[in-house]
Structure 1
Amino acid sequence: MQQVYETMYILRPELGEEQIEQAINKYQNLLREQGAEHIEIQHRGKRRLAYEINRHRDGIYVQMNYQGPGTMIAPLERSMRLSEEVIRYLTIKQEVTDAIPESSEPAEE
């Protein structure tokens, strides 16, 4: 069953542009190998963190939206947890509402 997910992760701020692209491609390819479809990547750039994480005050934010089976999340998060370039990550399952809202009767004046 296809679910819709969003993963936001934060990369170390001292990474170069080439290293950032390699990290993004690595996680995108990992998702593809696990059966993900409709992968959308949003590179949000370097931002100030709300609080210090591992002595970092800034981070490079990347957001991925994708569809696929729930079994693909564990390998993705394991890879991020073991990576030294990722300082934080979060995956959420999004609610998909395909139902068409019922139209109510027009109000009489």
Structure 2
Amino acid sequence: MYLNNYETIYILKPDVTDNVNLSLINFYKTLLKEKGAKNIVVQHRGRRHLSYNILHYYDGIYVQMNYQSNGNLVKFLEKSMRFNENIIRCLTIKQNISYSINVY
């Protein structure tokens, strides 16, 4: 089965503790592995000011996950994130990564 490259960024409430943040990262990383995702890379982007307020929050903690998977797993992951009370927003994009070799 062909796997696509995806990037999921989710924003946590600013009052989330480091322990909760780490447990969420581990939970989603494990979920991706169990469902067949490959090359999972998680980057903690830190607290940032939001462009506009979301649910009365002006700051959020950003976490970025890059992985290879199929579309069904992305739907499952986003549904799981929507039901998590600590996550105020999430977005997944499909990345078209193409490598070209220039031969002269």
| Normalised TM-score (structure 1) | 0.89
The one-letter amino acid of 1:42's match is Q
Alpha-carbon separation, structure 1, partners of 2:59 and 2:65? 20
CA shift at 1:6, angstroms? Answer: 0.3
Q: Which amino acid aligns with 1:8?
A: I
- What is aligned with 1:54? 55
Q: 4+ residue stretches of structure 1 with deviation over 2 A?
A: 98-101
Residue range with higher mean Cα deviation, 91-100 or 60-69: 91-100
What runs of 5+ residues in structure 1 fail to find an aligned partner? 105-109
Specify the alignment match of 2:72 in structure 1: 71
CA-atom RMSD in angstroms: 1.1
Residue in structure 2 matched with residue 35 of structure 1 by the alignment: 36
Unpaired runs of at least 5, structure 2: none
- After TM superposition, list the pairs within 5 Å mapping 1:87-102 onto structure 2: 87-101=88-102
Worse overlay, 8-17 or 26-35: 26-35
Name the structure 1 match of 2:7: 6
The number of equivalent residue pairs is: 103
Please report the TM-score for the alignment, with normalisation by the length of structure 2: 0.93
Tell me, in whole angstroms, the C-alpha distance in 2 between the residues paired with 1:96 and 1:48.
Answer: 29
Residue number in structure 2 paired with 1:107: none
Deviation track 1:31-83 (CA, whole Å, cap 9, x = no partner) reads 11111011001101111111000010100000000112222101100000111
What letter matches 2:63 in structure 1? Answer: V
Q: Hey, what's the Cα distance between the residues in 1 that align with 2:47 and 2:70?
A: 31
**Max Rg structure:** 1
Q: Deviations over 1:5-30 (max 9, x none)?
A: 00010001101110000111111111
SS of residue in 2 equivalent to 1:92: strand
